[in-house]
Chains A and B, each alone.
Chain A
Amino acid sequence: MLVAFARLVALDLTLSWRSLAGPLQDKPSHVRWALGVGLALALHLVAWPVGLYLGARESGFDTVVVRAGVMFVLPWAVASPMSALTRVLAQRGDLDLLLASPVSPRATFTARLLALGLEGVSPAAMLLAPLANVCALQGRPHWLALYPALLAAGLIGASFGAGLALALAFALGPRRARVVSQLMAAAIGGSAALAAQAAAFLPEGVRDRVFSFLQAAPNALALLTLPERAALGEPAALAQWAFAALVAFALAGLMLSGAFARAALLAAGAPAAAGSDRTTRFTADLGAALRRKERRLLWRDPWLLSQMGLQALYTLPIAFILWRNGGVTAQPGVAFAPTLVVIAGQLSASLAWIALCGEEAPDFVATAPATRRQVERAKIAAVALPVALLMAAPLAALAWASLYAATVAGLCAAGAGASGALLMLWRQAPARRGLVLRRHSQSKLVALVEHWLSLCWAGATGMAALGHVAAIAPLGLAALTLWLARPARVSA
């Protein structure tokens, strides 16, 4: 079993690595190595001054940094394997081959669990490992404890995530569980950002009472701070954290492997999801048919919607910070207007990318008796409605705070949305719909232009909301950028 387990872990890690290094796969191996080493060196170079800064601050500052890291890494370490395991069950991939082979389901499951655990913490490891290395080189070797602490976090996260995913699969059925677990994973993954905001918005008195309660209960506090103390290199905490990880992993392997095999069989025999019971509305209008198809596909992919929602959610803290610190003005209306405009631009670009680049049957649509322009126009129109609907509620709330700011935000959101969609229309690069969050890796130049346009529209919104005529400058820059980004001008 051990040999099979090792082989499966190696296979899973190889596949994960290839997926991570996807854009580099077509490069020769020496170029890939050179790029990898170059990236590692660059990250260490960037981390060096950060390490020096951390070293120069008083000793408690390390704790704050690590605590913040733990808050973000732990939820992600649970959410990522949970979502991945549900996908494995639904998409099958090599599952049929593995379960039909003489390899035991336990070996298959534990190998996948280990790989998922490592995958779950690998993004954090890529960012934090250079910092840990340079801090160790600068004379603070306790930072190296990040490695085992992260590994343990991965194992614990994968064990919990797998438990949750399998519980959902049995409770809701494999197909519904897929949707629910993806939404839950998105919520768990974003919980750190939400929790940070919730803490910031608690009234001062309530916040103080929560902290005093935690300080008065040393056992609870010790348990809560265990991963943080482990990551800071406290030997006893590190040992306890590692032990907890091994126990969680072993228990998951022993208790869940049977459930995994049963869930796989359940998923294989699950009937196809039923479509809508509503009467189908046939239409002779090409545009209407395309718009309806795009909206149906979007609505039926809650994972995509949740990911885009989270993307928008991560933009909100900027508005909170602006407001709390009295930036721009201390008025929430003016502080939130640029954020809404950025969200509208990003959502519009993402949805336009899905409709245009993520078309699942491009050849089939190309055989329809319509010009390419007609098809693209219908797709862009399909995108506009969901963006408008998503923006309606926050704009209405903004109007309650400031009608003028809401008007400015509405107009600029329309402009930002149109800019984002136009950019995607002009720079189409076909890909799978699920890769929408990685679309920026398709072309760095297009990604840069998209962010720049968002910045221009946000700047124009902020200035216009304050009544500055200078708002015309960023608007002009946005228009100039779009003009330059027309087809045949950008060489991405």
Chain B
Amino acid sequence: MTPALELRSLCKSFGKSFGKPAVDGLDLTVQPGEVYALLGPNGAGKTTTLRMIAGLLPADAGEIRVFGVDARRHPVEAKRLVAWLPDEPQLYDKLDPLEYLEFVAGLWSVAPALARARADELLESLGLSEQRRQRCEGFSKGMRQKVALAGALIHEPCLLMLDEPLTGLDAGSARQVKDILAARVQAGAAIVLTTHILEVAERIATRIGILSRGRLAAEGTFAALRGERAGATLEDVFLDLTRAA
């Protein structure tokens, strides 16, 4: 089976003056149907990695393959398969959610009738039907996050990259989002997410990778990472690994 995402010896530095590279020879594989949580302390290189996969940052060296497509050589083809949701959703204040989804569907060339149906479905399932015709300028952070997530899902991406996807959401909305993501994974998509809320990773990730100083310090299921330490939480494991690295 072709992996959903393959990173080989991925490197990125932000100039010599910053010392060590932000991402330092990162190797990582995510399979279709997996939820992969990329954890790490601030400055570990999580967002930089996601931005390189999304085509927002050029990698200095290494390979990025999305469902077998070389994202460095064929960025447009790779982008067709990918959706990226940043921690601060980028919306247009003067557009309403339906217009935003219309715009995003156009960018990904989704057939109009299909896009319309998906937009209605997403707005409904995210509880945004009533606000579909209200401009985003008055929306709360949680509502903005949901509109951005609807935008990320409208073209049915095969690989979803989510930077802190549940930040700002109330319990009900977080459940809605988790259900939608689970449905995408069941349909064969892969999700790579970063989060500082370790409970989220513990609960929804099938595998967890812990980044430290641009390198993968550990990787595996939560049970594998916990190993012999019965009763240890992911927080304990995380702190042990990142302190040791």
Instruction: Mark A residues whose CB is within 8 Å of B.
Output: 270-277, 280-286, 288-290, 292-293, 296-297, 300-301, 360-371
Contacts and interface: CB of A to CB of B under 8 A. Distances in A.
Contacts of B82: 367
Contacts of B135: 272-275, 300
A270 B134 CA distance: 12
B138 A275 contact: no
A58 B94 CA distance: 56
Contacts of B112: 281-284
B107 A369 contact: yes
Closest 9 CB pairs of A and B: A289-B106, A272-B138, A275-B96, A361-B90, A282-B112, A368-B107, A369-B79, A272-B134, A300-B94
Given A363-B86, A366-B56, 17 more contacts: A273-B138, A275-B95, A280-B98, A281-B112, A282-B110, A282-B116, A284-B109, A285-B106, A286-B107, A286-B109, A289-B105, A293-B92, A293-B95, A360-B91, A367-B83, A368-B108, A370-B107
Nearest to B109: A284
Interface of A: prevailing SS: loop
B14 interface: no
Contacts of B91: 360-361
Contact of A272 (B92, B111, B131): B131
6 contacts: A273-B135, A273-B138, A280-B119, A282-B115, A367-B83, A370-B107
A271 B138 CA distance: 7
Nearest to A275: B96
A282 B117 CA distance: 10
Nearest to B135: A273
A275 B106 contact: no
Contacts of B84: 364, 367
Contacts of A274: 96, 133-135
B111 A296 contact: no
Contacts of A367: 54-56, 79, 82-84
Nearest to B139: A272
A364 B84 CA distance: 8
A272 B137 contact: yes
A277 B132 CA distance: 11
A282 B107 contact: no
B103 A289 contact: yes
Contacts of A289: 102-103, 105-107
B136 interface: yes
B93 interface: yes
B13 to A, nearest CB: 20
B106 A282 contact: yes
B60 interface: no
B77 interface: yes
A297 B92 contact: yes
Nearest to B86: A363
Nearest to A289: B106
Contacts of B92: 293, 297, 360-361
B226 interface: no
A285 B109 contact: yes
Nearest to A361: B90
Contacts of A363: 56, 86, 90
A275 B99 contact: yes
B86, B91, B95, B139, most chain A CB atoms within 10 A: B95
Contact of B110 (A281, A284, A292, A361): A284
A293 B92 CA distance: 9
B76 interface: yes
A297 B107 contact: no
A291 to B, nearest CB: 9
Given A275-B95, A296-B95, A366 B55 contact: yes
A228 B195 CA distance: 64
Contacts of B90: 360-364
Contacts of A286: 106-107, 109
A290 B76 contact: no
Contacts of A275: 95-96, 98-99, 133-135
A293 B103 contact: yes
B139 A282 contact: no
Contacts of A284: 105-106, 109-112, 115
B80 interface: yes
Given A290-B107, A369-B76, A370-B107, A273 B137 contact: yes
A290 B102 CA distance: 10
A273 B93 CA distance: 10
Given A272-B138, A273-B137, A301 B94 contact: yes
Given A286-B109, A360-B90, A361-B92, A292 B103 contact: yes
Contacts of B110: 282, 284
Contacts of B131: 272
Contacts of A371: 76
A283 B82 CA distance: 20
Contacts of B119: 280, 282
Contacts of A370: 76, 79, 107
A76 B95 CA distance: 32
A364 B154 CA distance: 14
Contacts of A276: 96, 99, 133
A369 B56 contact: no
Nearest to A301: B94
A363 B86 CA distance: 9
Contacts of A292: 102-103, 106
Given A367-B82, A370-B76, A282 B102 contact: yes
Contacts of A365: 107
